[in-house]
C-alpha cells in the first residue's frame, strides 16, 4: 500500500487522458505497450510518469492504485487476455477504488493495416457487447455501477463502464 491515491491510465497512448487527469490535480501515471507511444507521451507531457508495460502483465503491486482507466485500449486485446487483465485490474485496485473502461460496442473484430497517419501496421480492433464486458468484470470480482453508451457518429457506438471491486 502507498499513501498516494494513484490513478493508472492503462493503454495511455500519447498520454492525453493521463495529462487531463494530471491537470485536474490527480496523481495519474500512464502505461502503454508501445515504446513509441510512451516516448511521445514523455515528450509531450514532461513531469508525468509514463511506463512501458502491458495490461496483461501489469507491473503494479496489489491494492496500489485508487483508480484505473483503460480508455479504448482493451479494443486491441484478445478476449482471453482481456479477461485475465480484468482479474489483474481487480488485484491492483484498492478495495474502495474504481475502474473506468471505454470500448467500442459491437460484436466483431477487424484487422487494421494502416494507421491514422497512413503508415502500415497490423492491429486488431475488437468490438464487444456491453453485456459481455460487464459479465467478464463480474467474473473478475467487480460490481458494475455505471453503464453508458455514446454515439460519436451514426456507425460508431462507444461503451463506458464504471466498476468497483465487489466486497466479500
CB of residue 3 vs ligand SAM: minimum separation in angstroms?
26
CB of residue 168 vs ligand SAM: minimum separation in angstroms?
30
Cα–Cα distance between 139 and 119 in angstroms, integer? 38
Cell numbers that stand for 38 in this block:
510512451
Length of the chain: 168
C-alpha distance from residue 154 to each of 55, 150, 157, 158 (Å): 30, 10, 8, 11
Cα–Cα distance between 9 and 14 in angstroms, integer? 11
For the segment 15-54, give every residue that binds ligand SAM (CB under 6 A). Answer: 16-17, 32-34, 37, 54
CB of residue 88 vs ligand SAM: minimum separation in angstroms?
11
Residue 72 makes contact with ligand SAM by CB under 6 A = yes
CB of residue 167 vs ligand SAM: minimum separation in angstroms?
28
DSSP code of 76? Answer: G
Site track for ligand SAM across 74-113, x = CB under 6 A: --xx------------------------------------
Amino acid at each position: 500500500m502507498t499513501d498516494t491515491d494513484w490513478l493508472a491510465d492503462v493503454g495511455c497512448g500519447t498520454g492525453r487522458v493521463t495529462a487531463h487527469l494530471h491537470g485536474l490535480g490527480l496523481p495519474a501515471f500512464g502505461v502503454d505497450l508501445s515504446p513509441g507511444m510512451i516516448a511521445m507521451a514523455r515528450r509531450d507531457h514532461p513531469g508525468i510518469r509514463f511506463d512501458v508495460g502491458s495490461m496483461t502483465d501489469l507491473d503494479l503491486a496489489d491494492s496500489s492504485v485508487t483508480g484505473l482507466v483503460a480508455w479504448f485500449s482493451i479494443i486491441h486485446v484478445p478476449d482471453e487476455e482481456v479477461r485475465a487483465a480484468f482479474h489483474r485490474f481487480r488485484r491492483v485496485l484498492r478495495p474502495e477504488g474504481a475502474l473506468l473502461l471505454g470500448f467500442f460496442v459491437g460484436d466483431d473484430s477487424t484487422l487494421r493495416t494502416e494507421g491514422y497517419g497512413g503508415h502500415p501496421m497490423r492491429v486488431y480492433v475488437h468490438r464487444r457487447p456491453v453485456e459481455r464486458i460487464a459479465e467478464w468484470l463480474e467474473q473478475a470480482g467487480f460490481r458494475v455501477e455505471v453503464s453508458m453508451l455514446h454515439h460519436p457518429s451514426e456507425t460508431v457506438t462507444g461503451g463506458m463502464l464504471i466498476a468497483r471491486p465487489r466486497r466479500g
